[in-house]
Structure 1
Amino acid sequence: MLPASASDFPVTVQSCDREVTFEAAPQRAISNDVNLTEMMLALGLTGHMVGYTGVSDWKTLDETLRAGVGQLPELSSNYPTKEVLLGADADFFFAGWNYGMRVGGEVTPDTLGEFDIAVYELTESCIHIMDKPKASIDDMYNDLLNLGRIFGVAETAQALVDGYKDDLADFTASLPALEEDVAVFVYDSGENKPFTAGRYGMPTALIEAAGGTNIMDDVESSWVEIGWEPVIERNPEVIVIVDYGSVTAEQKADFMRSNPAFKDIPAVVNDRFVVLPYVEATPGPRNVAAIKTLAAAFRE
């Protein structure tokens, strides 16, 4: 990776509903959550980072990420406070709404701007503060390209995105056609009420790319708690389980298998559960692998 040239700056990128200008590449960056951190790693940006946050509490730190972050410290196991970011003398925070920041919370672009900490927001998460199109794999590509510009590695980012696009195009071209889209429910967590992905969540884009339809595509949200009634009524043929946290994927599947309310759902009847690690189900470099996993499952 070639170092950024001063002539590459200043650069201005769109971050949700804001334009953010960088006079130089950040040198003390912090990323929140495993998927955002992996975007930084994919671009080779650890030399620009002082740490990451929001991973271990969710039990999403796998060997790939552990090796990638090397000696970088986890500065907070959950959402960081303003004091954590100031204590690390951060000059950049890569986070998202409900990915390290909360609307009206103490850590936002406005509150951090007072301390000269620039913020770039995860594109998928922008739905929490503005209107945007439904989730698309392009959301993830957009973030990589913007990070490339912010850190002066635009060519690296473009090559990475082109590689993902070519890989996905080759894979999609080789897929046998489905007679009709497969009806899919995304089960993230929750027993009394399920937490799932709606129209603006990345799983919707992954499912569609693989030949399915998210049965909650009409829910005008990204990640959201709903009731079980619409799940039962919409008869999913496949259930995608997002694997993270203290409840295992198998425990989530067993909950659905053992509950009489779900006994007639085709996915439960036919035991068609597909497990995606959290890092694959959320926007990040492993989204292409997720599409391949789903496409194979839909065609079994």
Structure 2
Amino acid sequence: MTTTIGTAEGSDGYSVDGRFDIGGRSIQLTCRGAGAPAVVVDAGMGTAPAEDPGWQGIAAKVAEHTRVCLYDRAGLGASGAAPELIRTSADAAADLRNVLHAAGIAGPYLIVGHSIGGLHAQVFASLYPEETAGLVLVSSTHPDQIDSWLSVLPAPAPDEEKAVTEARTFLTSMANDPTKNEERLDFKASAAQARKLRSLGSKPVVIATHSTSYRMVPGLSEPIAVKLEAATQRMQRGLLSLSSRARQNISKTAGHGLPHEDPSFVIDNILEAVGMARNER
């Protein structure tokens, strides 16, 4: 039996704000607005969107048009820690589904995923296609991202620039050692889970991509930085294959932190997907 700590009115009410029991631990969920599809935000690594001013501002605008929910993954914000020492995107997706059900939020859901949240969103759509109305992937992690970036970096050399060494070390650590990231996410396992998503058919997929002028690694020489960003942009375009109704929008100036650097752009992309889901455009 699920229990609620806080205020909840469920699918027929206007607001939900509290921690919901999903089997011995609680997950924070905050929802505002009314209408379908319900927009559900899965934020970037280490971010608790229910407490984050950037995502709160975005949600306030989206709530003028439809229901929108901010959820804190296990161990973030007001959500309890998960029992597993190592987590995968499938674990995050199951938690999200469980808390939405516990709160009485009716699906199918339009999942908005930023950065690593985008990888979780892809896995959610793969595991629960009937509960997925569509995806908005905001500067999303791609399942091939780490391998692609590592392949772009030059071979190790004794006199290589420090930024290259640091980038290679970070990416290798992210790929091979889940204890090195703050959510103990097994990226390799999660990427394999995301690759199982072949197609959402004609469900809307909106790709909100950061600017082509963004540079992932500060201090990296421009020729290598350009190659890294070109690889990233190719992967972002590749996400268009997830649906016959997929669209991509690219920010003119904002970097990877789109929800905080260009919140209006994120809002526009979410509302575009809402309209597509409603067959308005």
Considering the TM-score relative to the shorter chain, is it more than 0.5? no
The structure with more radius of gyration:
1
Normalising to structure 1: TM-score of the pair?
A: 0.28
